[in-house]
């Protein structure tokens, strides 16, 4: 097989390179234009999160809310957690984490070591993922994402990190919204018995994050 490929390369180098480039471009284009939402990609998901897991998720969220508030960090429900707040006053019944947007200009002002220590003191693990520009917090089985959003030159707010630069078309289409939706003072909705900030204009932000089905209640496959 190796010799066959090598001979093909030597005899048809321009054609081989063209084919290789075409395949690479197709993969890059496909990854950029489609949504990667977990409920579409998974073969089968739990239709209702077990009570013990949901209780851990609620406890983790409450502690995260307390810490973020203590450091003066605006935190906004987004993605599935925003749908959950609007429809159930808490996480979606089948959700396995929570999603919060935090603002880059506020994050830049805090002492990160003290910020992280607050989580550690509550038994919460924290990992910053440079690739995605987010803090992933976890305790026991529960986890949540604190996603950093930054204002762009074009009047939008979008995700930070390396991935938005690599897959810029995808993130422009599915993870960016007008900055006005994050302008303070922000409205609040009940979420797990607490009033949590949400983007302005109701469902408007979901039109940008879920352009193909924002008006539907989309459940995991098989549910």
Residues 190 and 102 in one domain: yes
Residue 162 lies in a domain: yes
CA 153 to chain centre: 21
Residues 109 and 169 in one domain: yes
Q: 168 pLDDT band (50/70/90 cuts)?
A: confident
Residues 131 and 176 in one domain: yes
Residues 188 and 138 in one domain: yes
Average model confidence (pLDDT) across the chain: 85
Task: Evaluate if residue 219 carries a pLDDT over 70.
Answer: yes
Residues 96 and 205 in one domain: yes
Residues 7 and 76 in one domain: no
What pLDDT digit, counting tens, does each position of 110-165 carry? 999 999 999 999 999 999 999 999 999 999 999 999 999 999 998 999 999 999 88
Residue 216 lies in a domain: no
Residue 142 and residue 91: Cα distance in Å, rounded?
12
Residues 109 and 179 in one domain: yes
Domain that holds residue 130: 46-209
Residue 74 lies in a domain: yes
Residue 14 lies in a domain: yes
Cα end-to-end span (Å), the chain: 44
Q: Are 195 and 203 in contact (CB under 8 A)?
A: no
Total domains, the chain: 2
Q: What is the CATH number of the domain that holds 134?
A: 3.30.460
Q: 35 pLDDT band (50/70/90 cuts)?
A: very low
Residue 220 lies in a domain: no
What pLDDT digit, counting tens, does each position of 36-53 carry? 554 454 555 678 889 999
Residues 12 and 58 in one domain: no
Residue 163 lies in a domain: yes
Residue 12 and residue 4: Cα distance in Å, rounded?
12
Residue 11 lies in a domain: yes
Q: How would you write the chain as a 3-class SS string?
A: CHHHHHHHHHHCHHHHHHHHHHHHHHHHHHHHHCCCCHHHHCCCCCCCCCHHHHHHHHHHHHHHHHHHHHCCCCEEECHHHHHHHHHHCCCCCCCCCEEEEEEHHHHCCCCHHHHHHHHHHCCCEEEEECCCCEEEEEECCEEEEEEEEEECCCCEEEECCCHHHHCHHHHHHHCEEEHHHHCCCCCEEEECCEEEECCCCCCHHHHHHCCCCCCCCCCCCCC
With pLDDT > 70 as the criterion, what percentage of the chain qualifies?
A: 80
Residue 38 lies in a domain: no
């Amino acid at each position: 097989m190796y010799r066959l490929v090598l001979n093909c390369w030597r005899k048809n180098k321009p054609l081989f390179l063209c084919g290789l480039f075409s395949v690479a471009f197709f993969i890059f284009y496909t990854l950029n234009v489609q949504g990667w939402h977990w409920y579409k990609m998974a073969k089968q998901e739990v239709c209702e999160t077990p009570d013990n897991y949901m209780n851990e998720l609620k406890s983790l969220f409450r502690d995260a809310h307390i810490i973020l508030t203590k450091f003066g960090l605006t935190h906004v429900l987004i993605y599935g957690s925003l749908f959950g707040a609007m429809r159930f006053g808490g996480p979606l019944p089948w959700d396995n984490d929570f999603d919060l947007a935090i603002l880059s200009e506020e994050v830049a002002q805090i002492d990160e070591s003290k910020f992280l220590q607050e989580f550690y003191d509550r038994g919460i693990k924290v990992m910053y993922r440079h690739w995605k520009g987010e803090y992933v917090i976890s305790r026991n089985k529960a986890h949540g994402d604190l996603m950093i959003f930054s204002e762009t030159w074009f009047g939008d707010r979008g995700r930070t990190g390396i991935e938005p630069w690599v897959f810029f078309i995808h993130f422009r289409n599915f993870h960016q919204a007008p900055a006005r939706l994050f302008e303070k003072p922000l409205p609040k909705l009940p979420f797990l018995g607490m009033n949590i900030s949400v983007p302005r204009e109701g469902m408007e932000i979901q039109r940008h994050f879920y352009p193909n089905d924002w008006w539907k209640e989309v459940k995991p496959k098989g549910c």
